């Protein structure tokens, strides 16, 4: 009997290879800020529905993913665990026997999107068993469990047990009788124990840029952020396992590998013996088969001089740094519980530009944090304009129940947030355009992607610029290309000279 699995990322269905997607240990730690207890098997309250009947695992499954690169890697781990049960992919939701939605909860909007998609998938396939997992499931299982048509809510604490839970979702009785009014909930608070992942989760992003998850959780307590409560404390994959995975992917021919996690700057802090991200990177660039590794977002205080100097001396680290700012006002940074001031942040960004002149440098800015005045907004505008950023990610402030900022006075009106966001996006567009145009007439090293658009092959430069190439250019090739112009927000390259293909 053929079994199939579907995988959807960022709202677009995409076929992926199941190879080398490895999951966290079933003893993954579980945590919360108040009560903490470790659990290694699903446990349900007496009021939750229990399906006593068992049937063969459904042959078709559809997996939808919201949120960050780390969530995408988690979905790959879910997918891998189901492949080990004999599943394969399908891209048709209506064919599925089981649907899994891997949720995000970083904003109110992301919560809303998860609820909307869950209802939509239920309408499209009334007969499937529907599970919601991920950060929203960990934060508010009681909300999701009351949405009609959701059969099970699986928090991050029980994500590794999804294969066992899926087996319980096919009770061998008519579908109309199987859906409970309140979904079963599999969720516990995370333990304080720093559990170590057995192996890194890998998401083969577009089949050309694997995301290797090296770390999970966060020990910071930024006043606006819910992530520590839904992801648990910082914990890291042992370096020998990360190095083995990176080496294996490089030997398979992948030209770029992206290191991802929730707070990767704290990589190795809780390992025994203690380790660090700069040591891991030094080992990674020593892998002979490796062409390029890219680092995902870093906190400014964790982008060390050692990392910057290493990146300046090798072409194996992509010259791209996403350094989280959040505000250009020192008062707002303090209210956010960010552990730096703008002067320190500026010195780090300027050091990157000094040591790696062609680096792409991005940042995040939260707009409309409670109490942010017009003057403080202007401080942020002036600050980001003064620094050599090449793009900005602007996020309207979103209240998260349970965070310190949720109860802060001075919430900013939505219209004012939209106006402030537009001003920041304008600065971002100008900076990106100037950076982009500085490479016209020059040669850039790019990785060709599996994606095509408007009859062009898409590629990504080391410094995070998108480049359009002739359609017959093969994917997963590292090429030196002559930049001849731009189309919209993309550069155009011709006559590629193969560097590593």
Q: Residue 375: is its pLDDT beyond 70?
A: yes
Helix, strand, coil content of the chain in percent (nearest 5): 30, 25, 45
pTM of the model: 0.81
Tell me what the pLDDT averaged over the chain comes to.
Answer: 84
Average pLDDT over residues 153-169: 88
Per-residue pLDDT at 407: 95
Query: What is the three-state SS of 174-191?
Result: CHHHHCCCCCEEECCCEC
Band the pLDDT of 129: cuts 50, 70, 90.
Answer: confident
Q: What is the β-pairing status of strands 256-260 and 292-295?
A: parallel
Q: Residue 44: is its pLDDT beyond 80?
A: no
Per-residue pLDDT at 92: 85
Per-residue pLDDT at 60: 79
Q: Residue 6: is its pLDDT beyond 80?
A: no
**Same fold yes or no, 319-438 and 443-500:** no
Per-residue pLDDT at 31: 31
Select the more confidently predicted residue: 430 or 27.
Answer: 430
Per-residue pLDDT at 22: 29
Q: Residue 389: is its pLDDT beyond 60?
A: yes
pLDDT, tens digit (0-9, with 9 covering 90-100), for 460-469? 999 999 999 9
Per-residue pLDDT at 164: 87
User: 193: part of which helix (H) or strand (E)?
Assistant: none
User: Would you give the DSSP letter of residue 404?
Assistant: G
Q: Residue 42: is its pLDDT beyond 90?
A: no
- Among left, alpha and beta (phi > 0; psi -120 to 50; other), residue 59 is alpha
Domain positions in the chain: 4-186, 319-438, 443-500
Band the pLDDT of 245: cuts 50, 70, 90.
Answer: very high
Q: CB neighbours (10 Å) of residue 491?
A: 25
Per-residue pLDDT at 54: 46
pLDDT, tens digit (0-9, with 9 covering 90-100), for 423-469? 999 999 999 999 999 999 999 999 999 888 888 999 999 999 999 99
Q: Residue 319: is its pLDDT beyond 90?
A: yes
Strand order in the sheet with 256-260: 201-205, 209-213, 256-260, 292-295
Select the more confidently predicted residue: 178 or 230.
Answer: 230
Q: Percent of the chain scored above 90 by pLDDT?
A: 65
Per-residue pLDDT at 52: 40
Which CATH topology does 319-438 take?
A: Transcription Regulator spoIIAA (3.30.750)
Which CATH topology does 443-500 take?
A: OB fold (Dihydrolipoamide Acetyltransferase, E2P) (2.40.50)
Among residues 402, 430, 428, 412, which one has the least CA distance to residue 367? 412
Select the more confidently predicted residue: 92 or 143.
Answer: 143
């Amino acid at each position: 009997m053929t079994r199939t699995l579907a995988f959807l990322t960022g709202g677009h269905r995409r076929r992926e290879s199941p190879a080398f997607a490895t999951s966290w240990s079933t003893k993954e730690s579980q945590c919360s800020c108040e009560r903490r207890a470790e659990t290694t098997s699903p446990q349900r309250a007496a009021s939750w529905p229990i399906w006593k009947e068992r049937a063969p695992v459904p042959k078709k499954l559809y997996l939808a993913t919201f949120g960050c690169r780390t969530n995408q890697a988690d979905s790959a781990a879910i997918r891998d665990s189901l492949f080990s049960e004999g599943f394969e992919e399908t891209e048709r939701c209506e064919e599925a026997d089981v649907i899994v939605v891997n949720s995000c909860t970083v904003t109110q909007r992301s919560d809303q999107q998860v609820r909307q998609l869950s209802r939509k998938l239920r309408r499209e396939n009334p007969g499937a068993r529907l599970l919601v997992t991920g950060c929203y499931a960990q934060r508010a299982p009681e909300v999701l469990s009351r949405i009609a048509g959701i059969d099970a809510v699986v928090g991050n604490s029980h994500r590794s047990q999804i294969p066992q839970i899926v087996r319980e979702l096919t009770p061998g009785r008519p579908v109309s009788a199987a859906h409970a009014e309140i979904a079963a909930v599999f969720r516990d608070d995370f333990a304080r124990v720093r559990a170590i992942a057995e192996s890194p989760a890998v998401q083969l992003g577009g089949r050309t840029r694997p995301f290797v998850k090296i770390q999970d959780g966060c020990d910071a307590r930024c006043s606006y952020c819910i992530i520590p409560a839904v992801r648990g404390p910082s914990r890291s994959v042992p370096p020998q396992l990360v190095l083995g995975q990176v080496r294996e992917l490089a030997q398979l021919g992948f030209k770029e590998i992206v290191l991802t996690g929730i707070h990767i700057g704290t990589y190795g802090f809780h390992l025994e013996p203690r380790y660090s991200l700069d040591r891991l990177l030094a080992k990674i660039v020593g892998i002979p088969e490796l062409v390029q590794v890219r680092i995902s977002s870093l906190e400014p205080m964790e982008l060390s001089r050692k990392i910057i100097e290493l990146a300046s001396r090798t072409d194996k680290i992509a010259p791209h740094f996403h350094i989280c700012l959040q505000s250009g006002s020192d008062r707002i940074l303090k209210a956010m519980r960010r552990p730096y001031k703008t002067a320190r942040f500026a010195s780090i960004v300027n050091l990157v530009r000094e040591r790696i002149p062609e680096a792409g440098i991005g940042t995040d800015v939260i707009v409309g944090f409670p109490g942010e005045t017009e003057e403080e907004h202007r401080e942020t505008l002036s600050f980001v304009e003064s620094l050599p950023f090449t793009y900005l990610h602007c996020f309207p402030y979103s209240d998260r129940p349970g965070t310190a900022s949720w109860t802060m006075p001075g919430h900013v009106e939505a219209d004012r947030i939209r106006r402030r966001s537009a001003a920041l996006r304008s600065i971002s567009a100008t900076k990106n355009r100037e950076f982009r145009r500085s490479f016209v007439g020059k040669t850039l090293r790019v990785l060709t992607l599996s994606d095509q658009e408007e009859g062009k092959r898409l590629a990504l430069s080391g410094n995070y610029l998108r480049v359009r190439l002739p359609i017959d250019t093969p994917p997963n090739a590292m090429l030196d290309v002559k930049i001849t112009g731009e189309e919209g927000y993309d550069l155009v390259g011709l006559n590629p000279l193969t560097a590593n293909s």
